[in-house]
Amino acid sequence: MKRRLLFGERMLLGDGTEPFNAVIPFRLRGTFKEEDIQQALHQIQAKHPWLRALITYDDQHIPWFEIPERSLPIPVRIVSRKGEDDWQEESKKEWQTTFLYEKLPLIRFVWIKGEEVSDMLFVLHHCLCDGGSAMAFLYEFLQVLDNPAADIGIEQPILGIQDVVPEAILNNRRQKLKAKFIGRLAATAIKCIPVGKKAVERQNDYLIHWKLDEAKSRELIAYCKSNDVTVNTFLSAAVLQAFRKVRGKLAFNKVSCPVDIRRFAPQIKNDHIFAFGLMIVLSAHDKMSFLDNVRLMQEAVERKTAKLNPYITMMVMESGHDALNNFTKLLKQGKSSNDCMFSNLGRIQIPHQYKAFMVDTIFSPSVIGPLGNTTTLVSSTFRGEMDFSFVGSEGYLPYSEALAIRDEMMKTVKQQIESLAV
């Protein structure tokens, strides 16, 4: 089985010399045997073909996912657990470690082994799948780790754009011409945008992690519900306000927010291994109260989300493979135009109590790559607690400013929750 990488996947893959890795960390309470972990990994590989895939190149040097005749297991690295924050240090190591994807799968596993508590990391190349896919196979891994006889099914993998875009749209002459025209227009525009001679020097990468306790998380959700705004929009507004207060004129007043394509393309199932995403960009409004600003931003979210069209977007991108190098160069060497990317995974629908172990926590994933500004905030909620992973690089956002932005965000959360109580 094989399929050619889509435009977005090729962009994330790059040339193999620079890692673009996502890390999914979680903490389990219990005791484990290495062979049981290996068996659970084997079972999720058996379900998902692309977790067994390598990257091969055709005679035009186009990359393909290809499953070898003899499947290779997910590599496992074991380290001794010494402290609560070991998972953060191991995450940073894994960001920097490239995948030898022509010889090994695009996923690996780290077991930070303790006597009664273990931290574990799934590490995957971002071209392989998004956060939704990662949460799906994490759920399956926990199922079969607890009960090897559990039936997690078999994925019918996506084999190309034809499995996502309905045939009536994909083969519609008008839609094909529209996609090609937009693609050519975008390719021409990209060539004309000036870029620097070299990419910004990232310098040291960092991870800042924190949680909101269950009570504060519940109060924040109640605040958002009472004001008819989503937690995602509230946190986006808090991020933008924090950047403005800390960075002043250096702030761009723009935050990029991924939107799950599964909301618009039902062909992509929750457990599909797939990496294509949609995006909206949000800005705050000056000279109004925080709550009025959030409400106005919520209107913008709904308006922009309604305009998203995953089918045409995919068709446009697939018409532009010849512009890939110019687009990648623009992302790497063009001037940064947004403050950060913010992704809220929402409530993680994974049980915490199993027969053989307990899931103490699932930390918010982290991801970092070479395509421009690395500043990324990911949030999620597990067992009622909101969890935040803030990733950045000194060359884009100094660590001291990132800490100040975190503090400003939490200050805003506290103030708004208190205003609801009043």
- The answer to whether 288 and 296 have CB atoms below 8 angstroms apart is yes
For position 197, what pLDDT does the model report?
A: 77
Confidence category of residue 422, pLDDT binned at 50, 70, 90: low
Residues in the chain: 422
pLDDT digit string (tens) for 291-326? 999 999 999 999 999 999 999 999 999 998 988 988
Cα–Cα distances in Å, from 305 out to 139, 247, 310? 28, 29, 11
**Orientation of helix 231-247 relative to helix 399-421, angle to 10°:** 130
pLDDT digits (tens, 9 = 90+) for 164-217: 999 999 999 999 999 999 989 988 888 888 787 788 899 999 999 999 999 999
| pLDDT value for 41 | 98
Secondary structure of the chain in HEC code, one letter for each residue: CEEECCHHHHHHHCCCCCCCEEEEEEEEECCCCHHHHHHHHHHHHHHCHHHCCEEEECCCCCEEEECCCCCCCCCEEEEECCCCCHHHHHHHHHHCCCCCCCCCCCEEEEEEECCCEEEEEEEEECCCCCHHHHHHHHHHHHHHHHCCCCCCCCCCCCCCHHHCCCHHHHCCHHHHHHHHHHHHHHHHHHHHCCCCCCCCCCCCEEEEEEEECHHHHHHHHHHHHHCCCCHHHHHHHHHHHHHHHHHHHHCCCCEEEEECHHHCCCCCCCCCCCCCCEEEEECCCCCCCHHHHHHHHHHHHHHHHHHCCHHHHHHHHHCCHHHHHHHHHHHHHCCCCCCEEEEEEEECCCCCECCCCEEEEECCCEEECCCCCCCEEEEEEECCEEEEEEEEECCCCCHHHHHHHHHHHHHHHHHHHHHHHC
Contact 315, 181 (CB under 8 A): no
The domains located in the chain, with CATH, are 2-146 (3.30.559.10), 203-308+335-421 (3.30.559.30)
Looking up tokens 């005749």 gives 69
Residue 395 exposed, middle or buried by CB count within 10 Å (0-12, 13-18, 19+): middle
In the prediction, which pLDDT does 195 show?
80
Helix, strand, or coil (residue 112): strand
Token pair of 103, please?
């010889």
Instruction: Measure Cα distances from 328 to 36, 70, 374 in Å.
Output: 41, 34, 14
- CA 402 from chain center: how many Å? 19
- pLDDT higher than 70, residue 160: yes
DSSP code, position 73:
P
> What is the mean pLDDT of the segment spanning 228-234?
96
**Residue 177 pLDDT:** 94
pTM: 0.95
Rounded average pLDDT over 240-253: 96
Residue 344 near residue 258 (C-beta atoms within 8 A): no
The string of pLDDT tens digits covering residues 390-421 is: 999 999 999 999 999 999 999 999 999 987 76
- What was the pLDDT predicted at 287? 83
| pLDDT (tens digit per residue) in 41-50 | 999 999 999 9
